[in-house]
Structure 1
Amino acid sequence: MIGEQIVRLRSAAHLTQEQLAERAGISVDVIRRLEQGVRHSARLNTLTKIAAALGAELAVIIAPRTTFAPEPDRGIPAIREAITSSTVDQLGGLAETDADIDLKRLTASVDSAWHIWQRGEYSILGRLLPALIAEARHATRECAGDDQEHAFSLLATVFELAAGVTVMLGHEDLAWLSVERAVAASEQCGDEVTKASAVYWAAWILRRQGRYRDSLTAATRAAEIHEPRMTRATPAQLTVWGGLLVNAAGAAARDDRAVAATELLDFARTAAVRLGQDRVDRWSVFGPRLVAQSAVVNATELGDFETAVRLAADVEAVRSRVPATWESRYLLALAQAEVELGQDIPAVATLHQARLLTPEWIRYHRLARDLTAELNARIPAGRQPELDELTRHIQLA
């Protein structure tokens, strides 16, 4: 647990709770409550300050929010081999002379994998990725002209999916290698949307690794390069550009830069209005509901919990929908704000909704686990059946 790690590192550094709080520039009460287990979570910005004060990496303080699946994923070795192999016959055993190129079928397979990712079914996607990487890379070698560019676009998407799955399973080295491969593949095709999408994923991985300023820089630079003309922009261009801005705003919020987060999200909102509805494709997810949800998430990250709960009404006013995993990530942020405000019963209902939407996805998230533990400490067992169900579902001891 977070508190146990802080105690261990603080003791090793021969610091009192007061001294650590002073170094970190936070309240000693926060340190005390974390170490005593009264609180099971804190804002990432707070944890980053504690880690810096202790001379430790953030990952040492808090285990990744995505390493609590019920069982280790057995597909990781095959994914690792597929990502790191340099010849086609090493990639899942696919020899160049054994496979016919069918770009239409490969495109359909990649689209299917994308939808599996959006549903948060990582165990299924993990089994599919090795063969998809092999086939997409094989297609880039065997095709020519426009077909080859299309194959490279598909390969970039597959590597993006590999980055997503591996970071969710806690393998950050593989995630970063995958996203580097995605960027390299995108440079081999003439599609600007594919190039922007690869940078979007790189910025997202950086943000998950706690490298907020690097993430902000990457996303904003890409947004400047790929900014479309509003009157002529295609839906795909608006989607990936808006996604870059949302990503940048999220990085700014986690870096405690409220003004920058608000300004970037305002730019994104302009693109969302132009788009008219939420759009889901294999480059990005973006639209009015996503922007409204991002405002809630960012307010929570900034510690403005009352604003986060208030802004939730704006989300419900938008009728379009986003994929289940995006919906659940917003619900986790809302539940966190509700917990912080002492709104325990609404928080239980919010977490229950997230569990129903994404039963597998929620088991990978440390935040869901921490919030459930916090609520269990406040609400007696048996008082809220939905909380008891969630506790059993995520296998919280």
Structure 2
Amino acid sequence: MSEETHIGARLREIRKRRGLSQRDLATASGVSVSLIRKLEQGDLHDTRMETAHQLAVALRVPTSSLLERDDEDIADGAPEQWRPLQQAVQIATVHTGEAPTVQGVHALLPEVRAAYFDNRLAELTGLLSPLLRDADALGDTTDARHVRSHLLHIAGSMLTQVHQYSAAETALSRALDDAPDRLRAAGIITTWSWLLVRQGKLTASRELATRWADDIEPRISRATPEELAAWGWLLVQVSSASLRDNRRGEADDTMRLARSVAVLMERELPRGTERLATWGPTTVRYKAAERHVILDQPDRVLRAAKGPGGLAVSTEYHRHRLDVAKAHTMMRQYGEAISVLSEVNVNAPEWLASQRYARDIMSDVVTKRRTLTPEMRTLADAVGLPM
């Protein structure tokens, strides 16, 4: 392996981004501290593939990322409140104490899901971080992989929400690897496609969602509600990425198809025991309204907001309310925008605080107003708008 002379620099960079000391990495990987030190200092210019693999496993990166010369984008370290979850996802740990059981980990899933759906992000981080370490220690039985995949999917979704994209990608990649079937895998791909959109990787998002939508397209006459929901969400993601990538025709076609799939449901399909999103006419109406923000049609967003639905119906409700607030600012209805943001702040304060979109909306309001009301100042603080 004499050609891999750069391994020390890459190893040091990734280790530091993970927040690990050389001794921490040695404990997690089983590679001696002295060897890690020699590699990072350049005293050794090669190492066995087996050693490189051990280090990569501990750092939750492909082995090739330590060996290839082309630098990959390693995201900045997570802010303190998200670091425990980031590390639980990205760093292999040695489990000590009483061995966890699949039944024990599974028993905590309802509590994790409740925190996730209620947008209690700090509580969710506190629950997920140790539970993921327990799940890692369960081994590779079918049941273990099943519960671990679900937890990693939740972690990937949350990390995407709080802009920890490198850790989110690791979580989703691992979730996909453990997914028990293609239907569950499709749900993970939907979240991954959303992550790619948030990273600005629109072509990659569209191609990923399109490939999976084509692959799992069901026979309509025999499709189950879960199959329709999985397919429909992938179609929505294709449309979302296409519209943002100026592929209007493809975006329109896939959204029309998604609407047809939602109509087949006749009602909103609840999120169930494992799916992370609702599916049905209300959810699709919210996602269609999002398009009108992009297309500079705020009146159509506000029209969509008058239909039935709400927090108890769709997991997309809060995101839709931000679109409504944005539409009000586009129409210079700043008081109405503040009222909508205040409502979201009451229902999901931690979620709102993590939304750059909310900060952008508040910035529009602050810029256009000569004076701010106490409510506006409170919201500006809530979303972290810089002074």
**TM-score where L is the length of structure 2:** 0.72
Match of 1:184 among 177, 181, 185: 177
Aligned residue in 2 for 1:317: 308
Equivalent position of 1:283 in the other structure: 275
Equivalence for 1:85: 91
Residue 394 of structure 1 corresponds to which residue in structure 2?
383
Task: Decide which of 237, 248, 260 is 2:238's aligned counterpart.
Answer: 248
- What is the match of residue 6 of structure 1? none
Q: Counterpart amino acid of 1:277?
A: E
Give the C-alpha shift of residue 360 in structure 1.
1.0
Displacement, 1:318?
A: 4.2
Q: Which of 336, 340, 353 matches 1:363?
A: 353
Q: CA deviation at 1:206?
A: 1.0
Alignment RMSD:
2.6
Tell me, yes or no, if structure 1 residue 306 matches structure 2 residue 299: yes
Q: Which has the larger radius of gyration?
A: 2
Partners of 2:319 and 2:352 lie apart in 1 by 9
1:107 aligns to what? 106
Unaligned regions of 5+ residues in structure 1, if any?
1-58, 142-147
Match of 1:229 in 2: 219
The answer for the alignment partner of 2:3 in structure 1 is: none
Corresponding letter in the other structure for 1:378: K
Whether 2:95 is the aligned partner of 1:94: answer yes
Report if the CA contact (8 A) 1:159-1:179 is conserved.
yes
1:122 counterpart letter in structure 2: L
Q: Percent identity?
A: 24
Q: Residue type matched to 1:330 in 2? A: H
Identify the residue that residue 191 of structure 2 maps to in structure 1: 201
**What is the alpha-carbon distance in structure 1 between the residues aligned to residue 100 and residue 352 of structure 2?**
39
Deviation sequence 1:225-253 (CA, Å, 0-9, x none): 11223333222222222211122221122
| Deviation at residue 273 of structure 1 after TM alignment | 1.9
Distance 2:212 2:113 in 1: 22
- Is residue 381 from structure 1 mapped to residue 371 from structure 2 by the alignment? yes
Question: Structure 1 pair 106/238, CA: closer, same or farther in 2 (3 Å)?
Answer: farther
Does residue 1:134 correspond to 2:140, yes or no? Answer: no
Q: In 2, are the aligned partners of 1:243 and 1:284 still within 8 Å (CA)?
A: no
Distance 1:150 1:240, change over 3 A: farther
Q: Aligned pair count?
A: 309
Q: Can you list the C-alpha shifts for 1:77-111, whole angstroms capped at 9, x where unaligned?
A: x333322334xxx1xx534x7224243x4334234
1:155 counterpart residue number = 148
Amino acid at match of 1:329: R
Out of 293, 310, 321, the position equivalent to 1:331 is 321
Q: Deviations over 1:183-209 (max 9, x none)?
A: 1111xx3x2221212212221211111
Q: In structure 1, give the amino acid aligned to 2:106.
A: T
In 2: Cα distance, 1:320 partner to 1:271 partner: 22
The structural deviation recorded for 1:385 is: 4.6
Q: Which runs of 5+ in 2 are unaligned?
A: 1-72
Asked if structure 1 preserves the Cα contact closer than 8 Å seen for 2:240 and 2:251, the reply is yes
